[in-house]
Amino acid sequence: MRILITGGAGFIGHNVALYLKNRGFEVVVIDSFEHSSPYALRRLNTYEIPVINSDARIFNSYEGFDIVIHAAAYISVEESIKDPVKYFENNVVSTARVGFECAKRRSKLIYLSSAAVYGEPIEIPIREDHPLNPKSPYGLSKLMSEQVLKQYADLYELKHIVLRLFNVYGPGQNPAYAGVINSFINRLKENKPPIIYGDGTQTRDFIYVIDVARVVEVLIERDLFNGEVYNVGSGEETSINELAEKLMNILNKRIKPIHAAERPGDIKRSSADISKLKNAIGFTPTSLEKGLREMLGALIEGT
Ligand SMILES: NC(=O)c1ccc[n+]([C@@H]2O[C@H](COP(=O)([O-])OP(=O)(O)OC[C@H]3O[C@@H](n4cnc5c(N)ncnc54)[C@H](O)[C@@H]3O)[C@@H](O)[C@H]2O)c1
């Protein structure tokens, strides 16, 4: 089976590419290289995964790909508030293009959406039918993308699945856009205090990138391209203070975190209800402790 991954030289895209290649799929990635990392490119090269330099808004060589995983997007909430047009232009237009090309060629599409589509939760854990009220242009661009694909399913019978990813962690995040886990690890390794925005009681649902890849594989194998939307999280709610504590224990460092002003667009709590995904594919997420240890191992080995 041939798989094309857009944004495949980014953090999640390249981890999914490596995983699927290991599992026997034929994988090709495209990326504009705007936010790809040398680490990701090195790993793709080691695994002999072809990398095409192209923008997903114009790329149209989809012939021969059974499955397309659309991971290309700009991902900074903060930047999207400063420059919303950039986010709508890239994230929505790329999805409109990728989806339409898939529909024309009858390729099946997995869209990597985000928990940012929910905005500030009014109920925890968050189910897929929670109201959709994104707080940032980034979140809105992901929601608009989902809507574009839903319309394509109605108009052109596009076969697709939407995965609403919660906070994904693992090796190979771009340092400029790294999530809280990478930023804490980098600071602790330099014996600097982790920086916590706000009081640290805000919570997140951290999901290991290899779990995302496992979910993608099972959905492909079971051919579950039914237009459904699935939360992909761990179902565990972890505060940022707890996360800092956990990482310090694993890394054997004792450095008191420092606090900075809360960031605009940040939500107070986040935790996924993953029962829909569990029911569909019997998914058991990796614990945060195990995922962090594995991730640190991969970073040390440079693999
Ligand atoms: N990282 C997370 O925690 C998280 C959470 C929820 C959803 N997501 C979604 O997962 C996807 C991947 O995120 P990531 O964390 O790997 O981000 P990333 O920035 O590491 O990777 C995205 C890649 O897409 C590329 N790209 C951007 N626009 C492009 C375009 N028009 N054409 C071709 N390539 C383009 C970038 O160069 C980059 O390599 C995104 O769609 C994001 O919205 C990520």
Q: Provide the b/e sequence for 28-52 (b: ≥16 CB within 10 Å).
A: bbbbbeebbbebbbebbeeeebebe
Q: Which of 39, 74, 118, 138 is catalytic?
A: 138
**173 close to 182: Cβ distance less than 8 angstroms:** yes
Domains of the chain: which residue ranges? 2-169+206-233
Q: Reply yes or no on whether the pLDDT at 54 is more than 60.
A: yes
Which value, in Å, is the radius of gyration of the alpha carbons in the chain? 18
Q: Distance (Å, rounded) from C-alpha 93 to C-alpha 99? A: 10
Ligand 1 within 6 A of 110 CB?
no
Q: 36 alpha carbon to ligand 1 midpoint, in Å? A: 9
**pLDDT band, residue 264 (cuts 50/70/90):** confident
296-299: long-range pairs with CB below 8 Å, 24+: 296/185, 296/250, 296/251, 298/170, 298/171, 299/171, 299/185
Ligand 1 within 6 A of 33 CB?
yes
User: Which helix or strand (DSSP H or E) is residue 289 part of?
Assistant: helix 288-301
Give me the percent of the chain exceeding a pLDDT of 90: 91
- pLDDT of res. 303: 54
Ligand 1 within 6 A of 119 CB?
no
- pLDDT of res. 178: 67
List the residue whose alpha carbon is closest to atom 7 of ligand 1.
114
Cβ-based neighbours of 163, under 8 Å, separated by 6 or more: 110, 111, 112, 113, 212, 215, 216, 229, 230, 232
For residue 169, the ligand 1 atom closest to its alpha carbon is 3
Ligand 1 within 6 A of 43 CB?
no
- In the chain, count of helices (H) and strands (E)? 11, 13
Ligand 1 within 6 A of 232 CB?
no
**pLDDT band, residue 179 (cuts 50/70/90):** confident
- The first and second tokens of residue 251, run together, are 């890394």
Burial zone of 218 (CB within 10 Å; 0-12 exposed, 13-18 middle, 19+ buried): middle
Minimal CA–CA distance to 179: which of 257, 261, 75?
Answer: 75
Instruction: Give the tens place of pLDDT for each residue, 136-174.
Output: 999 999 999 999 999 999 999 999 999 999 999 998 887
Q: Reply yes or no on whether the pLDDT at 298 is more than 90.
A: no
- pLDDT of res. 113: 98
Q: 73 alpha carbon to ligand 1 midpoint, in Å? A: 4
CATH code of the domain made up of 2-169+206-233: 3.40.50.720
Ligand 1 within 6 A of 120 CB?
no
Instruction: Give the tens place of pLDDT for each residue, 204-216.
Output: 999 999 999 999 9
List the residue whose alpha carbon is closest to atom 35 of ligand 1.
72
Ligand 1 within 6 A of 4 CB?
no
List the residue whose alpha carbon is closest to atom 2 of ligand 1.
168
Residue written as token pair 């459904």: 228
- The first and second tokens of residue 232, run together, are 């992909």
- pLDDT of res. 302: 59
Please indicate whether residue 169 is annotated as part of the active site. no
Q: Reply yes or no on whether the pLDDT at 21 is more than 70.
A: yes
Q: 173 alpha carbon to ligand 1 midpoint, in Å? A: 10
Half-sphere exposure for 37 (CA within 13 Å, toward CB) = 17
Q: Reply yes or no on whether the pLDDT at 296 is more than 60.
A: yes
**34 close to 71: Cβ distance less than 8 angstroms:** no
Indicate yes or no: pTM above 0.85: yes
- Mean pLDDT within 261-268: 84
- Mean pLDDT within 231-239: 97
In the chain, DSSP assigns E strands to 2-6, 26-31, 51-53, 67-70, 108-114, 160-165, 167-169, 195-197, 203-204, 206-208, 229-232, 238-239, 258-260
Cβ-based neighbours of 115, under 8 Å, separated by 6 or more: 126, 164, 165, 166, 167, 205, 231, 233, 270, 272
Minimal CA–CA distance to 160: which of 96, 229, 213, 227?
Answer: 227
Q: Reply yes or no on whether the pLDDT at 227 is more than 80.
A: yes
- pLDDT of res. 254: 92
Three-class DSSP category at 234: coil
Q: Distance (Å, rounded) from C-alpha 102 to C-alpha 11? A: 23
